[in-house]
Amino acid sequence: VGGAMEPIQAIRESRALIILRGDFGDRLKDITQILVEEGFLAIEVAMNFPHALEQIAQITQALKGRATIGAGTVLSIEEARRALEAGACFIGSPHTDESLLAFCREGGIPAIPGAFTPSEIWRAWQGGAAMVKIFPAMPGGPEYLRNLRGPFPDIPFLPTGGVTVENAAAFLSAGAVAVGVGSALVGSYVMAPEGLSQLREACRRLYRSLRAL
């Protein structure tokens, strides 16, 4: 990826992958600017809403070389292809699909498939996943993750779905390498008048908690 940080490295160093889901209009640039300034260098745009491709293109352009941008909720190779054309440099999914993993592997694109059961986790890892997204992370929580860590000590887990500013650190303590945080951090509140300063404050709280371990 020209000049940009290697995606998996960026997620590991940030200890979080920030997921943007929804239409943030002209606040998109400010939101992503704040995320990067506060130390979150990996951003994923969820593909399951109308303007995802434009968002990926816009953010990739605005943050060139300063952050790594990927596509999430990718369900098919066709969707992955479109996301990559828009500038995404990693592909996240809620599920494990061997053909999608093979497509990413052949293209040298880091894939972060979703898995929940031990069999799914192993299949995802065997299929070439760069990290395995434990999805949904709640209600199983850190305790479920801790139990998975025993048989799979070396698989990098990225719990996503139900991770909040408050519980994120507990997932790291339980053995995650990073957490996926979506609307609990970048929610609809960011569109309110005070939204951006609230976002910055929430980012600082999250960043501190992930480093307090």
Active site residues: 44, 133
How many helices (DSSP H) and strands (DSSP E) are in the chain? 9, 8
| Cβ–Cβ < 8 Å for 180, 133 | yes
List, as one string, the DSSP characters of 114-156. EE-SHHHHHHHHHTT-SSBEES--TTTHHHHHHHHHTT-TTS-
| Cβ–Cβ < 8 Å for 159, 145 | yes
